[in-house]
Amino acid sequence: MQLIIERNIYDTMLRAATAAMPLEACGLCGGKDGHVTRFYEVVNADASDEHFNMRPEDQFAAVKALRSEQLELLAIWHSHPATPARMSAEDLRLAYTPDIVYLIMSIADPATPVLRGFTVAEGRDSPVDIVVPTLSD
Ligand SMILES: [Zn+2]
């Protein structure tokens, strides 16, 4: 499985992750056919550095915006300010949306951000190939 993320979306995610430091940032990704073209940042209602909880009104507004643009919800994104881009035990426990990619951006090393994607089934994660086209593509 593969998810293509537009370069400007990737840059927006990175800005959101950096701006939220030292807390986790979160958001929803929309698009079509495995191609992410929209990113909606959602307020982390937990204001935590180790987990996130999307503020319901923001989450609802993002889903509504996706529908109005006839896009699918492709991925749920959040940042790991100080830990690697892996699903934590908490992330796995709360990953109950099937057929969606969980994106984690680690900025533990700010000079080398890492974005990884996973699908989760029966409490186990499988990697998803993340492609961010370079500007010359
Ligand atoms: Zn996490």
Helix (H) or strand (E) holding 111: none
Average pLDDT over residues 20-40: 96
57-92 residue pLDDT tens: 999 999 999 999 999 999 999 999 999 999 999 999
Level-2 CATH architecture, domain 2-131: 3-Layer(aba) Sandwich (3.40)
What per-residue confidence (pLDDT) applies to 56? 92
CA of 43 to the centre of ligand 1 (A): 15
Domain limits, the chain? 2-131
* Model confidence at 136: pLDDT above 80: no
CA of 136 to the centre of ligand 1 (A): 32
Give Cβ neighbours of residue 107 (< 8 Å, ≥ 6 apart): 14, 17, 18, 21, 79, 80, 81, 113
Quote the pTM value. Answer: 0.93
CA of 24 to the centre of ligand 1 (A): 8
**Cα 130 to Cα 106: distance, rounded to the nearest angstrom:** 14
- Parallel/antiparallel/unpaired status of strands 101-106 and 35-42: unpaired
**Cα 102 to Cα 93: distance, rounded to the nearest angstrom:** 12
What per-residue confidence (pLDDT) applies to 50? 85
Average pLDDT over residues 103-107: 98
CA of 88 to the centre of ligand 1 (A): 5
pLDDT band at 37 (very low <50, low <70, confident <90, very high): very high
Helix (H) or strand (E) holding 10: helix 7-20
pLDDT band at 130 (very low <50, low <70, confident <90, very high): very high
What per-residue confidence (pLDDT) applies to 137? 54
CA of 103 to the centre of ligand 1 (A): 9
CA of 4 to the centre of ligand 1 (A): 21
What per-residue confidence (pLDDT) applies to 101? 97
CA of 6 to the centre of ligand 1 (A): 22
